[in-house]
Amino acid sequence: MDLTETEISSKQIFTGRIVDLAVRTIKLPNGETASREIVKHQPASAAIAVNDKQEMLLVEQWREPIKELTLEIPAGLIDETDASPLDAMKRELNEEGGYRADYWEKITEFYSSPGFTNEKLYLFYCDTLTKLTDKRELDPDEFLTSHWFSLAELKRLSAQGKIVDAKTLYAMSVWENMLLTGADAKE
């Protein structure tokens, strides 16, 4: 069976600063039509940043959609000034943590929830960090603090419900795999 669906028409509902919303009419594989609500969202970069003490960097910030303070890996939208997803992540690591990393590796790229949104994330691993003296400013509406945690501490925080987002849980699992298999990114 050919599972491909085709767009018949699309109605723009909202054009915002971060998200756009459209309702699209599509043709199903059986020829019938159906409606899909689609949220467009800019792509973002995120990083597993590990220091020399084998601790991972998390940032604490308020997330209004869930009205919670969360601990997440550093991440941010890729904007027009960024030459690439990696460039965006280097900027975010500076802004959110105040660090430069000398070793970088791309882990993967993925969609957050492709059933309703095209938001894409580029995930990197980095280490060999240096604290910067010329840290860049956060965005004016961005408030966060940064913290370092060992894998054991991360697992405890996750069990306590303090780590609640997909990318950070995935990052923890990837890092644990790297430690378990001795597959240090640099080898």
Site string for a second copy, 51-70 (x = CB under 8 A): ---------xxxxxxxxxxx
Task: Choose between 9 and 130: whose C-beta lies nearer to a second copy.
Answer: 9
Task: Choose between 7 and 87: whose C-beta lies nearer to a second copy.
Answer: 7
Task: Establish if 99 lies at the interface with a second copy (CB under 8 A).
Answer: no
Q: For residues 37 and 13, give the distance between their C-alpha atoms in angstroms, rounded to a whole number.
A: 10
Task: Choose between 110 and 149: whose C-beta lies nearer to a second copy.
Answer: 110
Task: Choose between 12 and 84: whose C-beta lies nearer to a second copy.
Answer: 12
Enumerate residues 135-164 that contact a second copy by CB under 8 A.
140-141, 143-145, 158, 164
Long-range interactions of 88-94: CB distance < 8 A, separation 24+: 88/44, 88/45, 88/122, 89/45, 89/46, 89/47, 89/122, 89/124, 89/126, 91/136, 92/45, 92/47, 93/47, 93/49, 93/126, 94/132, 94/135, 94/136
Q: How big is the CA angle at 34 (ends 30 and 39), to the nearest 5 degrees? A: 130
Site string for a second copy, 106-135 (x = CB under 8 A): --xxxxxxxxxxxx-x--------------
Which residues of the shown chain bind a second copy in the complex (CB under 8 A)?
Answer: 1, 3-5, 7, 13-14, 16-19, 21, 23-24, 26, 28-30, 32, 34-41, 60-70, 72, 108-119, 121, 140-141, 143-145, 158, 164-167, 169-170, 173-174, 176-177, 180-181
